[in-house]
Structure 1
Amino acid sequence: MNIQITPKPLKGRIPSISSKSHAHRLMIAASLCEEPCQVHISDMNQDLEATQNCLMQLSDESPVLDCHESGSTLRFLLPIAMALKNQASFFGSGRLPERPLSPLKEELEAHGCTFTTETDISFPPFDGSTLIYTGTGRLKGGAFQLPGNVSSQYITGLLFALPLLKEDSSITLTSKLESSGYVRLTLEVLECFGIRIRQEFSKNPKREQETLYSFVIKGNQKYKSPGEVTAEGDWSNGAFWIVADALSSFSQRTSEPSVSCLNLNKNSAQGDKAILSFVRAVRQTKKSKEKLVFDASEVPDLVPILAVLAASREGITEITHAGRLRIKESDRLATVHELIGSLGGDITELPEGLVINGTGKLRGGTVNGHNDHRIVMSAAIASILCTEPVIILGAEAADKSYPKFFEDFTRLGGEFHVL
């Protein structure tokens, strides 16, 4: 679906959708309980449906799991399935089969699992999906080592799986933990379901200013149902409306709120609540031309909308420690660079980040969504800054995490039509 947006400020109140990160974790924990647990999720999306469908398949003797395009589903369920089954096959579509699984895969192989790209399935079980790996051999406990700066999803998958094993286990991080909020969210969910994990901390001998994490996990634990749980509001997608509020207020030269995103918990472990401090920094320096530096190591998902926010101020903004974005649904450093450039902005792509030379406005133009939900939604919000229409190619990619995005965009006064 290609759409054309007419630039205009947004105004109104919108309820936040359920946090995809929180909902994934609640669904998985609930599925591992012997007793029933009701999980309340206000808004499903393609990634959550992938997890839901895979969890239903885990009851099979040799499950065949289609993770579609959901990296969370694959990275969480890879160790969980191998803790529960002697064989499981993992399929994916879009860019997911190309996205890395190292060093998680190697750690699983060091603890009893074998992975091949061959399968005894004689026909493709899912339209558009390809085999990623077939795993055989039951996962065994022991000492696991992972870097903390590659993917917090690897850590979360092991934290879910290792309590199920007979043996005790430990996870030692060999470098600084990035996206630590996602790991905290995992630990909170595990505690809610009766799983006990001890955290330990030490100084990195190579960099004394860095703290290294380790996790000690007793085996033979059981997930205990709390009865019912509710996924909290999503800061990752709420960030689009928070930035829309800032951009709409700027365009109307008012300090009054234009857009309010409701039901967001400011005490949440979700790291993307940092969008509030980023918006505050931009408001305070909008006309000063002071250089701003945003460290994205804890909040990589915010980078596309942060780049749009940076374009709304006059001056240079640098986004650093964002190299992991190259292995997302798209190479997000390249596609964010293309997004801002296509709309007339001044942006430079670096190996690990971006530099935006903001002027306070954008021209408009055509943006390729690159099948990436965050690029599509960022382009829609960027239209507020534009003087000419914005055309988005492949706008349906927003369905991956936020199927109602353009419905809510319209509710707030946004105007678009399908080309």
Structure 2
Amino acid sequence: MKAIVRPTSSLKGEIQALSSKNYTTRYMLAAALAEGESTVRFPARSEDSDAMRRCIRDLGAELREEGETMTIVGFGRHPKPVKELDVGNAGAVLRFLMSVAAFCPEVTFVNKYPQSLGKRPHQDLIDALQQMNVRVTHNDGKLPITIYGGSPKGGRIEVSGSVSSQYLSSLLFMTPLLDEDSEITVLHDLKSKIIVGQTLEVLEQAGIRIEASDDLMHYRVPGRQRYRPQEYVVQGDYPGSAAILAAAAVTESDVVVHRLSEFSRQGERAVVDVLRAMNVPLTHANGDVHVKGNGKLKAVEFDGDQFTDAVLAMVAAAVFAEGTSRFYNVENLRYKECDRITDFLNELRKAGADVEERQSEIIVHGRPEGVEGGVEIDAHFDHRVIMALTVVGLRSHKGLTIRDAHHVAKSYPQYFDHLRSLGAQVDWADD
């Protein structure tokens, strides 16, 4: 489906932030790894979280949902020996479950999205699992991947963190269940340390003990632990809300987004700081972010590794800022559903934006007068690209048509509905 985004001068209203995808998938996994019944309140509804629902059921978890409450009876360290798992296009779900699959005799992760998840690398996690008595066959580090497990071993484990922190998070979820103690050393660099902090937060809530060094590069994980059945409450999602806030920032607006805790550990909470630095009039109190946008922004410089999943939305806002903005330390954006630097910037140029790329930087020469638009552009099957391009379309002179925009459902199925409720002019059309 195509999204036809028409110029929209004003946004007004209030919405509830969707629930956090990152916390939902982690809570669901922690519940599945417990023996007993856990509840997850306000779970996210998206293609990614649905992939986790589907896969933990296939692995033997019992899952029921009623209203805003999910109940999960977990399988502990004894998942059902399934032959195949379909994670859809959910990279984090794949990586988390690759380690869990090591408790099964043989599991193949199939490749349903060869042009997206099928291109993403997983070699660093494969290398770590092979240190743990787990045999893995794969397509040059990519899907399809088959895990031959059954008796994974703890001990000294090394894993690279230079491409993604998800490899480390995967090991942190699995190693507490091993018979042996484990020592995990992160090699090279560790991207998205704040997201690792979310993993450690969830593990602590689940009763798991892990000793982490201050720089998050070394871990001691006692074995023979058990996940505690628990009640979890999912907080509002900053990565998805970032695009709504950016849309409010670049238009004349009076928009409130609820359920965004000012004390959240989500790194993307930094979008509030970025928008403030852009001179966007906003307040943040009692879980509400209130933007009274006037469309007048100034350029900024920020370390994007601190808020990876909101960088594209902030780049979209910077397209209309006075001056040159720079988002650095963002190379990991290249290894997402698409190359979120090259692919995204190519589409921005088609819309009329003045942008440059370096290997780990995005540079935006702002155009406060707006961009021309009036073209059809490619979403590259990427939900974050879709949301960010929509922001640009709203402020363009002639609007934008975004191909494959239905893939926004990967993380934020209600995105266009929420924008329309605020007054955005967006329609659907068949491809």
Tell me the TM-score normalized by structure 1. 0.88
Rounded Cα–Cα distance in structure 2 between residues aligned with 1:31 and 1:158: 15
- Contact preservation (8 Å) 1:23, 1:231: yes
- Contact preservation (8 Å) 2:297, 2:318: no
Matched, 1:114 2:135: yes
Aligned to 1:215: 219
Report deviation, 1:353. Answer: 1.8
Aligned partner of 1:80 among 96, 100, 107? 100
Aligned to 1:310: 318
TM-aligned CA distance change 1:146 to 1:117, over 3 Å = closer
For 1:91, the aligned partner's letter is V
Structure 1: tracts of 5 or more residues without a match: 119-129, 202-210
Aligned to 1:328: 336
| SS at structure 1 position matched to 2:256 | strand
Aligned to 1:260: 256
Aligned to 2:91: 71
Aligned partner of 1:406 among 404, 416, 421? 416
Rounded Cα–Cα distance in structure 2 between residues aligned with 1:376 and 1:111: 39
TM-aligned CA distance change 1:284 to 1:400, over 3 Å = closer
Aligned to 2:392: 382
Report deviation, 1:336. Answer: 1.8
Between stretches 270-279 and 1-10, larger displacement belongs to 1-10
Map residues 232-243 of structure 1 onto 2, 5 A cutoff: 232-243=235-246
Map residues 81-100 of structure 1 onto 2, 5 A cutoff: 81-82=101-102, 84-94=103-113, 95-100=116-121
- Contact preservation (8 Å) 1:62, 1:85: yes
| SS at structure 1 position matched to 2:15 | strand
Rounded Cα–Cα distance in structure 1 between residues aligned with 2:274 and 2:401: 27
Aligned to 1:37: 38
Report deviation, 1:109. Answer: 0.6
Aligned to 2:198: 185
Report deviation, 1:72. Answer: 0.5
Report deviation, 1:369. Answer: 1.0
| SS at structure 2 position matched to 1:392 | strand
Counting aligned pairs with the same residue, the percent is 32
- Contact preservation (8 Å) 1:244, 1:384: yes
Higher strand share: 2
**Deviation digits for residues 53-98 of structure 1, max 9, x if unmatched?**
111121332341111110011111111220x222221123222122
Matched, 1:368 2:394: no
Report deviation, 1:284. Answer: 7.2
Report deviation, 1:176. Answer: 4.0
Report deviation, 1:44. Answer: 0.8
Rounded Cα–Cα distance in structure 2 between residues aligned with 1:24 and 1:212: 21
Rounded Cα–Cα distance in structure 2 between residues aligned with 1:220 and 1:178: 29
- Contact preservation (8 Å) 1:307, 1:340: no
Rounded Cα–Cα distance in structure 2 between residues aligned with 1:73 and 1:307: 27
TM-aligned CA distance change 1:302 to 1:373, over 3 Å = same
| SS at structure 1 position matched to 2:190 | coil
Aligned to 2:352: 344
Between stretches 145-154 and 264-273, larger displacement belongs to 145-154
Aligned to 1:279: 275
For 2:237, the aligned partner's letter is D
Tell me the TM-score normalized by structure 2. 0.86
Aligned to 2:292: none
RMSD: 2.0
- Contact preservation (8 Å) 1:117, 1:133: yes
- Contact preservation (8 Å) 2:82, 2:104: yes
**Deviation digits for residues 199-232 of structure 1, max 9, x if unmatched?**
124xxxxxxxxx4621110000001112x22211
| SS at structure 2 position matched to 1:51 | helix
TM-aligned CA distance change 1:296 to 1:260, over 3 Å = same
Report deviation, 1:268. Answer: 1.3
Aligned partner of 1:134 among 137, 146, 149? 146
